[in-house]
Structure 1
Amino acid sequence: MTSIQEGQTPAAKTGEALDAALATVRANISAFDGSYPDDTTSGGVYLPRPAKGQFPAGANRGWTTSFWPGMLWLGWELTEDEQFRGAATANIASFAERAEKEIDLDTHDLGFLYTLACVAPWRLVSDERGRSAALLAADHLMTRFLEPAGIVQAWGGLDDVTQSGRTIIDSLMNMPLLYWASEQTGEDRYASAARRHTAQLRDHIIRPGGTTFHTFYWDPVTGEPLRGSTQQGYTDDSCWARGQAWGIYGFALNYRYTKDESFLDAARTCADYFLDHLPADGVAYWDLDFTDGDEQPRDSSAAAIAVCGLIELATWLPDGEARAHYRERAAWIRDALTADYSTAGHPESNALLLHGVYDWPSSVGVDEGTLWGDYFYLEALARAVLPDWTLYW
């Protein structure tokens, strides 16, 4: 386990931001009281995840619940406070039950869910139930791998004709679960699927000029690439900011496991376009087609994801000048979040970051805190003060 030691004190503003963030996470342990908050805040405050169908309020459903235990594990690593570890460990049973009983698993986001909730405790404290649950999730994720297209279907049941052959750029972040499963089992089939999927996104989801589609379709029978579109961006041809940030981090993580130079190049392509289309304060508008002067909301979550992705990208670049460039840009964005988008000094909010966007076209979670934005902001702060931090991904 890593922890902050004497002599490793970060810059004052980062330290203060980290203290404020951890205080909020600690307060949320009792506020959430064993339930799961909604995807985003409402008026700056997280409410319990609403009841839906068979699920009561606060139930473990949807794709974002793992960002809460992810924050708790980070809190434990940063402080060695057993309150964080106890609260984080308490979540494993719910995720194990979800995997064992196949509850709400019709999504590629099993990587998000089980990497943070179950792989992390396996890496940190050798939790066997976490390991077993994560392997079950990896097996279920493999059922979504479509031949001959070589892609993991994003959403819906495999018999859903409206979603068949569709993947999205977020999926890159779900591939580390499959690489981990290969490491654990010695079976290459998991890693092979992840490599093929990432190669397909490299070849088709990145457009000329360095922008990305949010979503792309393949013919599920022939494997032929068909068309790109968006679900949450401004238009099919615009560049959704969070998707571009997923591209930076996701391609860099896939390079970590494969050492395929084309994946590193893809991450750098996504990074350069993202950085070249930021407003003056460094925090992206929700779609990169917008910039200073446009009356559009920012997406602090895209900024937080990008910080982590830029640091991961820099880690693997052989050129020292390029490494320094991306690290400096990451620090610039992180500092902007700390200064103007964090909830430090805003005790009325139980989020870590303000001014995020979930789904602008659907008017969901616009100008609110987001669970994933909070997690990646805390990860960004952890990376700043723990340079030898071992990734959960």
Structure 2
Amino acid sequence: MVRTVNIEPFTKEQEFLATPALTKEELTNAFEECLKQVNLNMEYFKDRFPYSCTKGLKYPIIDNIEWTDGFWTGMLWLAYEYTNDKKYKELADRNIESFLHRVENRIELDHHDLGFLYSLSCVSGYKLTKNEHAKKAALLAADKLMERWQEKGQFLQAWGPKDSPEHYRFIIDCMLNIPLLYWASEVTGDNHYADAATKHFTTSCKYVIRDDASAYHTFYMDPVTGGPSHGATRQGYSDDSSWARGQAWGIYGIPLNIRYTKNTEYVDLYKGMANYFLNRLPEDNICYWDLIFTDDPEQSRDSSAAAIAVCGMLEMDQWLKEEDPSKKVYQKACDNITRSLIQNYTNNDHKPGDPILYHGVYSWHSGKGVDEGNIWGDYYYMEALMRQIKQWDPYW
């Protein structure tokens, strides 16, 4: 049984409903600007990868070792789908060989972010081109992710040794990793991947989302009983605030799981999370890095969280009934937020190594990537545009 959370009434309903619909010209012009930066960055990164976030608004170049490297390859696949230009496919295919090497040699994969890495690089490559190396790499990644399964608590452990009590925890981000497991079940016919994904999703919805529909970043389970212990944060402002990107992971993670399970009992949980997010947006409707802030010029926005939330609302649209009055509000909120990103947060003065989307936050507490570009923000912004330009089959 799905737990009940508070669904706040919309506070910006009339503002969103008054938003003019995005035009095809706005969307295609925005995507063309993305392609200009992707083209420059292909020459800049070559066969290597961007660091997770910019430093001084320029991406350092790294090997395929970070949890974020799949986002760059995902951007190449989006560019290929939009243009059908083989230059994007050729570089993405070379990236796939790098991802296959990484998983075969288990390079920097002792964490749960296998979905971020392999859904966008290899599941996408297999879906689009039937690249067998992509399929092999993605299935090996699914097997690696399954090594993090904790049967007692029914969740995929985020980080750390499995026998370490202080690491007996999961985070809301993992809702975007488990689609890799659903896909693995679909292509192999082996349901143990999907069973783990469904159980992890159920555990997440039960514990990481609070009664007011805000989200913890991290939830600790009791390593002795496997039951719930407590929520905390490693990213948000405080243990009891709502980190904006975490809230957005929930807004997107719920409909992605519904896509595979067809279990629409989670629609109200989604509405609670989406309304909580939308009700705490500042004047230009691009969230601060934590939703505890709604009007504080001393704090940084997180444009990446805004782009993720738009992707989630667009994915959820198919599961909302036409007569549901909230459906139109979410649609128009997507128009409003996307237009704000296009007009106020994107880079139109392209240089090699630049981000597409400005004003993101990686980790406020560590000071890493604060008011910088980040590669997942670039990816989700492109995905949000693609979803509104055409009928799009998700890579997730």
Range into which the TM-score falls when normalised by the shorter chain? over 0.9
Answer yes or no: is the 8 Å Cα contact 1:357–1:370 preserved in 2.
yes
1:163-312 equivalences in 2 (<5 Å): 163=167, 165-312=168-315
Which one-letter code corresponds to 1:257 in the other structure?
Y
Q: Indicate the residue corresponding to 2:122 in structure 1.
A: 118
Contact 1:343 1:349 in 2 (8 A): no
Which residue is equivalent to 2:379?
375
Post-superposition shift, 1:381? Answer: 0.8
Matched, 1:145 2:163: no
Structure 1 residue 90 and structure 2 residue 94: aligned?
A: yes
Query: Aligned to 2:47, what secondary structure does the other structure show?
Result: coil
TM superposition outliers: structure 1 runs of 4+ over 6 Å: none
Cα shift readout 1:228-271 (whole Å, capped 9, x = no counterpart): 00001000000000000000000110111112223332222211
**C-alpha deviation, 1:220, in angstroms:** 2.9
Select which of 329, 345, 349 maps to 1:345: 349
Tell me which moved more, 9-18 or 229-238.
9-18
Q: Measure how far apart 1:344 and its partner are.
A: 1.4
Question: 1:391 Cα shift?
Answer: 0.5
Gaps of 5+ in 2: 1-21
**Mapped contact 2:54–2:369 kept (Cα < 8 A):** yes
1:132 and 2:136 are equivalent in the alignment: yes
Residues 17 and 344 of structure 1 are in contact (CA less than 8 Å); yes or no, is this contact kept in structure 2?
no
Residue of structure 2 equivalent to 1:15:
28
Q: Could you tell me which residue of structure 2 aligns to residue 102 of structure 1?
A: 106
Residue aligned with 2:219, SS? strand
Decide whether the 8 Å contact of 2:36 with 2:350 is kept in 1.
no
Shift of 1:183: 0.4
SS of 2:358 mapped into structure 1: coil
Matched, 1:29 2:29: no
Question: Structure 1-normalised TM-score?
Answer: 0.92
Match of 2:17 in 1: none
1:209-238 deviation line (CA, Å, top 9, x unaligned):
111100001123421110000001000000
Contact 1:10 1:385 in 2 (8 A): no
SS of residue paired to 1:91: helix
**Equivalent position of 2:393 in the other structure:** 390
* Matched position secondary structure for 1:196: helix
Q: Does 1:330 align with 2:334?
A: yes
Which of 41, 45, 49 is residue 54 of structure 2 equivalent to?
41
SS of 1:162's partner is: helix
Q: Secondary structure at the match of 1:365?
A: strand
Q: Could you tell which deviates more after superposition, 364-373 or 294-303?
A: 294-303
Output one character per residue of 1:336-359: Cα deviation in whole Å (capped at 9) or x when no partner.
000000001354861110000000
Q: 1:363 aligns with which of 346, 367, 376?
A: 367
Say if 1:250 and 1:267, in contact at 8 Å, map to a contact too.
no
- Corresponding residue SS for 2:66: coil
Mapped pair 1:316 → 2:329: no
Question: Counterparts of 1:157 and 1:127 in 2: how far apart (Å)?
Answer: 33
Q: Structure 2 counterpart of 1:32, which letter? A: F
Would you say the 8 A contact 1:138–1:177 is kept in 2?
A: yes
Asked whether the equivalents of residues 37 and 352 of structure 2 are also in contact (C-alpha less than 8 Å), the reply is no
What is the CA–CA distance in structure 2 between the aligned matches of 1:339 and 1:22, rounded to whole Å? Answer: 17
Matched AA of 2:196: A
- Total equivalences in the alignment: 374
Superposition deviation, residue 293 in structure 1 = 3.5
Give the Å deviation of 1:379. 0.3
The Cα shift of 1:294 comes to 4.5
Measured on the aligned residues, the alpha-carbon RMSD in Å equals 1.4
**Bigger mean CA deviation after superposition, 318-327 or 376-385:** 318-327
Gap runs ≥5 in structure 1: 1-8, 49-57
Q: Per the alignment, do residues 211 and 90 of structure 1 end up closer, same or farther by CA in structure 2, a change over 3 Å counting?
A: same
Aligned-residue offset at 1:206 = 0.9
- Conservation of the 8 A alpha-carbon contact between 2:264 and 2:319: no
In 2, the alpha carbon distance for the partners of 1:369 and 1:158 equals 33
Aligned to 1:3: none
Give the TM-score normalised by structure 2. Answer: 0.92
Q: Which has the higher contact order (CA 8 A, sep 6+)?
A: 2
Contact 1:42 1:365 in 2 (8 A): yes
Residues 315, 323 of structure 1: 8 Å contact kept: no
Identity of aligned residues (%): 48
Cα deviation for residue 273 of structure 1 reads 0.4
